[in-house]
């Protein structure tokens, strides 16, 4: 920037302003003295302007020199920065060149290695081709030799290769069946020798230590009357009392010619018990009318509910089971009024608990756990008419809901082989259940069911080839199968007995267990003349 021109312009402006001022003042004064003074002032202004212009020129030169020095310094700084950047770029380029050279060297080495490998592969391929050709030639020679040998053997044996193969397979199958049957028989005999003695000892000991009742439940209850006049009061005018009683209790009241006796009939034992207690209270009180009947029936139902809990607590105490949930105790108490094949479920469950506890003690297992699982194994039977599912499923649900141990739950679930056994406890519960249900006098069943079971046993055994006769004996506890000796050999006897037993387990429902016995008899008859 030209600072001298700026200062010169400023001085000219000052001079012009001074002349203008002088003109104005001269016009106003109008006197010569004033004009002179004005001229002196103008001269002074000119000197001032010259001085100002000179100062401006000096300042401009100084500023120009400063600007030139600053420009040189900036130029030097920019040059140094450019040189530094250029040096850095040059170093980067040199590094890239080195890396590129190293990479090229590596690629060359790999290329040499690949070429060497390719040469090796070509040599190996040539060797393999040569060996394959040699092997093919040898295989052709072997095939020819085998074919010649086969023709020679067929000519000597008088049968083809396919016939010989079939004969060999048949003989191997027969040998395998015989070997399997022999092994099965040996294993069973060995296990029977080792386990049957101890099992019989333990079971016999447990049974001997249990003195169980042999009772059969019925579907009726009798109520004794003080006199025959009470029958008329029970019936009421036009039968009002007996209708109200039957409506309140859900039972049938049978008044026959039997002296001093009234029969209460109902398939549901608890309703029958409530009706029996209510009728006894009404007879003792003597006041029998519809209003009184409803009141007494309500009280009898409350007493039965209380008796259910007390019965459950007493059964748990007698079985040595503690810490049961109150709801489980109620279910156990309700077992007193439930039966299975005529056997009281509560007595059966206590009996199973005692048996399982004794066997667990003999085997060194957890006795309290065995008793607990045995006492609860049939708890679902009191709910079968109220809920969906089998008594096993309902029992598992109840035990799980009220926090029973997993071993107890498994004992309930597995006592009919619905699920696999997870411990020895469940096996003992199943065995004790079978012992309690199969003992003489424990259970009864209808004649029709009994006949159908026997027919089913004989039908299953008769379905097998080689079976000549079948006899179900011992009230269906044993089935004897007579086989033809020409069709069934001794090794086949073991497997056939097992097959019949498994099929009976799958297709039939029965208490206890069924023994399958196979009989094979060979007779030779000669006549002397």
Q: What is the pLDDT of residues 324-366, one digit of tens each?
A: 888 888 888 888 877 776 677 888 888 888 888 888 888 888 9
How remote is the C-alpha of 71 from its chain's centroid?
Answer: 88
Query: HSE of 481 in the Cβ direction (CA atoms, 13 Å)?
Result: 28
What are phi and psi for residue 129, nearest 5 degrees? Answer: -60, -40
> Shortest CA distance to 294 belongs to which of 237, 245, 233, 235?
245
Structure token pair of residue 500: 């019949």
User: 3-class SS at 343?
Assistant: strand
Which stretch of DSSP H or E encloses residue 469? strand 467-473
Residue pLDDT, tens place only, 272-308:
888 888 888 888 888 888 888 888 888 988 888 888 8
DSSP class per residue in 159-202: S-HHHHHHHHHHHHHHHHHHHHHHHHHHHHHHHHHHHHHHHHHH
pLDDT at 509 over 50: yes
What is the Cα–Cα distance from 357 to 451, expressed in whole angstroms?
35
Mean pLDDT of the chain: 79
Query: HSE of 10 in the Cβ direction (CA atoms, 13 Å)?
Result: 15
pLDDT score for 31: 59
As a whole number of Å, the CA-based R_g of the chain is: 60
486-489 contacts at long range (C-beta below 8 A, 24 or more positions apart): 488/518, 488/520
Task: Identify whether the C-beta of residue 210 lies closer than 8 Å to the C-beta of residue 354.
Answer: yes
Question: Per DSSP, what are the bridge partners of residue 490?
Answer: none
What is the maximal distance between C-alpha atoms in the chain? Answer: 206
Average pLDDT over residues 13-21: 59
What is the Cα–Cα distance from 489 to 248, expressed in whole angstroms?
68
CATH code linked to domain 220-438? 1.10.3210
pLDDT at 469 over 60: yes
User: 3-class SS at 253?
Assistant: strand
Average pLDDT over residues 518-526: 78
pLDDT at 63 over 80: yes
Residue pLDDT, tens place only, 381-431:
887 555 677 788 888 988 899 899 999 999 999 888 888 888 888 888 888
Between vectors from CA 359 to CA 410 and to CA 314, what angle results, nearest 5°?
Answer: 75
pLDDT score for 410: 92
Q: What does DSSP say about strands 478-483 and 467-473: parallel, antiparallel, or unpaired?
A: antiparallel
Do 220-438 and 448-520 have matching folds? no
> Shortest CA distance to 15 belongs to which of 50, 40, 54?
50
The residues spanned by each domain of the chain are 3-153, 220-438, 448-520
Buried/exposed code over 321-342 (b: 16+ C-beta within 10 A; e: otherwise): beebeeebbbbbbbbbbbbbee
Average pLDDT over residues 136-149: 84
> For residue 222, what are the contacts with CB-CB under 8 A and spacing of at least 6?
261, 262, 263, 264
Residue pLDDT, tens place only, 209-237:
444 444 444 567 778 888 878 888 888 88
What is the Cα–Cα distance from 349 to 328, expressed in whole angstroms?
13
Residue showing tokens 């690629």: 107
Structure token pair of residue 438: 């199969």
For residue 255, name the pLDDT band (cuts at 50, 70, 90): confident
Task: Identify whether the C-beta of residue 252 lies closer than 8 Å to the C-beta of residue 265.
Answer: yes
| Distance in Å from the first CA to the final CA of the chain | 165
Class of domain 448-520: alpha beta
> Shortest CA distance to 443 belongs to which of 218, 214, 211?
214
SS (H, E, C) 379-429: HHHHCCCCCCCCHHHHHHHHHHHCCCCHHHHHHHHHCCCCCCCCCHHHHHH
pLDDT score for 438: 64
What is the Cα–Cα distance from 104 to 102, expressed in whole angstroms?
5
CA distances 289 to 274, 282, 354, Å, are: 17, 9, 47
User: 3-class SS at 108?
Assistant: helix
């Amino acid at each position: 920037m030209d600072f001298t021109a700026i200062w010169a312009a400023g001085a000219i402006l000052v001079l012009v302003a001074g002349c203008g001022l002088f003109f104005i003042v001269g016009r106003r004064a109008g006197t010569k003295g004033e004009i002179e003074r004005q001229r002196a002032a103008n001269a002074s202004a000119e000197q001032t302007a010259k001085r100002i212009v000179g100062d401006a020129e000096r300042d401009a030169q100084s500023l120009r020199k400063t600007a030139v020095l600053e420009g040189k310094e900036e130029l030097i700084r920019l040059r140094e920065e450019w040189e530094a950047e250029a040096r850095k770029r040059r170093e980067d380029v040199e590094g890239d060149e080195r890396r590129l050279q190293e990479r090229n060297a590596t690629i060359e080495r790999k290329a040499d290695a690949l070429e060497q490998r390719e040469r090796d592969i070509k040599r190996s391929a040539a060797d393999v081709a040569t060996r394959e050709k040699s092997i093919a030639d040898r295989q052709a020679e072997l095939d020819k030799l085998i074919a010649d040998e086969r023709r020679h053997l067929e000519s000597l044996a008088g049968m083809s290769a396919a016939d010989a193969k079939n004969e060999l397979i048949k003989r191997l199958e027969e040998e395998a069946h015989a070997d399997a049957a022999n092994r099965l028989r040996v294993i069973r005999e060995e296990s029977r020798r080792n386990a049957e003695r101890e099992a019989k000892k333990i079971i016999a000991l447990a049974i001997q230590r249990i003195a169980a009742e042999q009772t059969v439940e019925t579907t009726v209850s009798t109520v004794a009357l003080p006199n025959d006049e009470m029958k008329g009061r029970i019936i009421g005018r036009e039968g009002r009392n007996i209708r109200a009683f039957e409506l309140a209790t859900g039972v049938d009241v049978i008044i026959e010619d039997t002296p001093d006796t009234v029969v209460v009939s109902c398939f549901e034992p608890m309703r029958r018990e409530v009706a029996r207690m209510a009728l006894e209270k009404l007879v003792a009180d003597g006041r029998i009318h519809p209003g009184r009947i409803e009141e007494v029936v309500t009280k009898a139902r409350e007493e039965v509910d209380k008796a259910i809990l007390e019965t459950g607590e007493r059964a748990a105490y007698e079985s040595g089971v503690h810490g049961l949930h109150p709801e489980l105790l109620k279910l156990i108490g309700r077992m007193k009024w439930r039966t299975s094949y005529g056997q009281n479920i509560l007595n059966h469950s206590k009996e199973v608990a005692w048996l399982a506890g004794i066997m667990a003690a003999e085997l060194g297992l957890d006795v309290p756990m065995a008793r607990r699982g045995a006492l609860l194994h049939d708890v679902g039977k009191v709910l079968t008419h109220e809920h969906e599912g089998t008594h096993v499923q309902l029992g598992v649900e109840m035990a799980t809901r009220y926090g029973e141990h997993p071993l107890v739950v498994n004992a309930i679930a597995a006592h009919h082989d619905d699920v696999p056994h997870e411990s020895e406890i469940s096996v003992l519960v199943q065995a004790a259940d079978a012992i309690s249900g199969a003992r003489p006098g424990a259970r009864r069943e209808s004649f029709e069911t009994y006949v159908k079971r026997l027919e089913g046993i004989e039908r299953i055994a008769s379905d097998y080839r080689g079976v000549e006769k079948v006899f179900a004996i011992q009230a269906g506890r044993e089935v004897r199968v007579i086989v033809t000796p020409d069709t069934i050999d001794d090794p086949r006897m073991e497997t056939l007995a097992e097959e019949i037993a498994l099929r009976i387990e799958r297709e039939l429902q029965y208490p206890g267990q069924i023994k399958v016995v196979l009989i094979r008899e060979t007779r030779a008859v000669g006549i002397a003349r």
